Amino acid sequence: MPTVRFEGAEIECERGDTLRDVLLAAGLSPHNGRAATANCRGHGTCGTCAVHVDGAVSEPTRRERLRLRVPPHDPDSGLRLSCQTTVEGDATVTKFPGFWGQHLGDGE
């Protein structure tokens, strides 16, 4: 079973589980602030569940690539949409500040 590490938690899940679902089932959120209620519910259209993932996960979907091209996201940021990412092995997930989680390491 893969292990997902997020905000100090270690969550076991099944290979092929959607990252967003894994986090939510563990009582954790891939969203910041109001985005926890104002989001697309996993359809890959809002971009609020963007996270950085280090580990074994699926390749980006077409929908994910398209959404990450729309500001405030940048397709070269390395972020992934947790709702479009499936866990394929152990992974470490980082959520950055900002409504969309787009503030990479700038402390905002």
In a domain, 105, yes or no: no
In a domain, 19, yes or no: yes
Provide the CATH number for the domain around residue 72: 3.10.20.30
How far, in Å, are 19, 21, 24, 48, 59 from residue 11 at the CA level? 11, 11, 11, 21, 21
Type of residue found at 28: L
In a domain, 103, yes or no: no
For the stretch 54-103, pLDDT in tens is 999 999 999 999 999 999 999 999 999 999 999 999 999 999 999 999 89
Decide: 100 and 72 in contact? Cβ < 8 Å: yes
Q: Which domain does 58 fall in, by range? A: 3-94
In a domain, 104, yes or no: no
In a domain, 99, yes or no: no
Write the burial class of residue 108 (CB in 10 Å: 0-12 exposed, 13-18 middle, 19+ buried).
Answer: exposed
Cut 0.85: pTM above it: yes
Tally of domains within the chain: 1
In a domain, 100, yes or no: no
